[in-house]
Amino acid sequence: MLFRYFAREILATSLLVLAALLALFGFFDLVRELDDVGRGGYRLGVMIGYVLLSLPSHAYVLLPAAALIGTLFSLARMSEQSELTVMRSSGLSMRQLAAHVGGAGLVVAAVTLAMGELVTPYTEEAAKSVRLKATTSIVAREFRSGFWVKEDRSFVNIQDVTADTGLLNLRIYEFDDAYRLASISRAGKATYEGGRWTLSDVEVTRFDGDRAVLERRAASVWNSVLTPDILSVLKIVPERMSVLNLWAYIDHLRENRQMTTRYEIALWQKALYPVAAIVMMVLAIPFAIQSQRTAGTGAKIVLGILLGLGFHFSGRLFSHVGLLNDWPAAFSAGMPTLLFLGVAAAGLAHAERR
């Protein structure tokens, strides 16, 4: 069956391309992390574990590009060996070819969806946790109730972290040597300046036996090993969160009357990303079936890399511009896919007329 032949060739080549890209990105990660080896408990084995846990996130990002390059390579090889010429002479239309490639793209889309929902949110968190535990004494997790950080005999709950790494709705639970609750500090906001945190709108409840004493302050200083750099490592970016977690977090932000635009854009991007893989594969068809004199296979692979980079950067561009101008999230997230789909449709129509 013709579809099975196309699917087998395209998927096998795409898998090889993905493996090569992952090896390259993994090597870059290893080189970058070498500077931190020896810091605290961050040893070579921990570093390798961190890099391996980071690979699924790279795979999720690279899948559409790998599928694009794999499709370009496979179809270009078929074109050079006159296989596509024979198929088209036998009645294979551009629409049918696009349907075969799109069918293979459904497999890539399904894998992309599974990676984004079931794998990368957990491996990303695990990778951050492994590195954080090895390089600092802080133990932290992120839940719907916010960040929970353990620091010596204190537990810190941070409801939200702003873009400038300020803290909102902060609670600090301090325990004594016998692990009895000694005090609870609540602050509306915390800002980092001069190597320490300044808390605003502070309420401190101290426990002394059966007595509880409440103290209110306009501001106070909080010395902690927790820094904005650590917080940036702790916080999973919206693009790495699952759709369900994004949906729940958007509801949480709306309940607290906070801005949701960035997370809505990320939600639409996550929903459309598997579709983008199919679009990128179909886009490869008109470029791959050009005559061998127009461009060799190597040149077409370079073209595929450039197209993949163009899609990646256009997505980031529309995301940032949409966030700045408060455009509808669906428009900001979907426009790059629509643009590349238009290019693919125009290219297929041009190839059909040739």
The per-residue pLDDT for range 88-129, each reduced to its tens digit, is 888 888 889 999 999 999 999 999 999 999 999 889 888 887
Mean pLDDT along residues 187-216: 89
Asked if residue 169 is part of any domain, the answer here is: yes
pLDDT exceeds 80 at position 54? yes
Asked if residue 252 is part of any domain, the answer here is: yes
State the burial class of residue 242 (Cβ atoms within 10 Å of its Cβ: 0-12, 13-18, 19+). Answer: middle
pLDDT exceeds 60 at position 292? no
Indicate the residue among 224, 248, 282 that finishes a domain.
Answer: 224
pLDDT exceeds 90 at position 335? yes
Q: Which pLDDT does position 136 carry in this prediction?
A: 64
Whether 262 and 250 have beta carbons less than 8 Å apart is answered as no
Choose between 230 and 64: higher pLDDT.
64
Indicate the residue among 167, 198, 224 that finishes a domain.
Answer: 224
Choose between 210 and 47: higher pLDDT.
47
Mean pLDDT along residues 40-62: 92
Question: How many angstroms separate the CA atoms of 155 and 158, rounded?
Answer: 10
Give the total residue count for the chain.
354
Do 344 and 296 have their domain in common?
Answer: yes
Asked if residue 232 is part of any domain, the answer here is: no
Do 131 and 186 have their domain in common?
Answer: no
Question: How many angstroms separate the CA atoms of 311 and 341, rounded?
Answer: 11
Do 80 and 175 have their domain in common?
Answer: no
Q: Which pLDDT does position 211 carry in this prediction?
A: 85
Q: Which pLDDT does position 92 carry in this prediction?
A: 86
Asked if residue 230 is part of any domain, the answer here is: no
In the chain, how many domains are there? 2
Mean pLDDT of the chain, nearest integer: 85
Q: Which pLDDT does position 238 carry in this prediction?
A: 80
Q: Which pLDDT does position 55 carry in this prediction?
A: 96
Do 99 and 178 have their domain in common?
Answer: no
Q: Which pLDDT does position 186 carry in this prediction?
A: 94
Q: Which helix (H) or strand (E) holds 198?
A: strand 196-208
Do 217 and 282 have their domain in common?
Answer: no
Do 56 and 90 have their domain in common?
Answer: yes
Q: Which helix (H) or strand (E) holds 187?
A: strand 181-193
pLDDT exceeds 50 at position 291? no
Asked if residue 159 is part of any domain, the answer here is: yes
Indicate the residue among 224, 246, 278 that finishes a domain.
Answer: 224
Q: Which pLDDT does position 36 carry in this prediction?
A: 83
Do 86 and 164 have their domain in common?
Answer: no
Residue span of the structural domain in which 148 resides: 140-224
Do 218 and 253 have their domain in common?
Answer: no
Mean pLDDT along residues 296-312: 75
Q: Which pLDDT does position 275 carry in this prediction?
A: 94
Q: Which pLDDT does position 120 carry in this prediction?
A: 92
Q: Which pLDDT does position 349 carry in this prediction?
A: 86
Under the banding of pLDDT at 50, 70 and 90, the label for residue 210 is: confident
pLDDT exceeds 50 at position 27? yes
Q: Residue 92 is encoded by which pair of tokens?
A: 């294979």
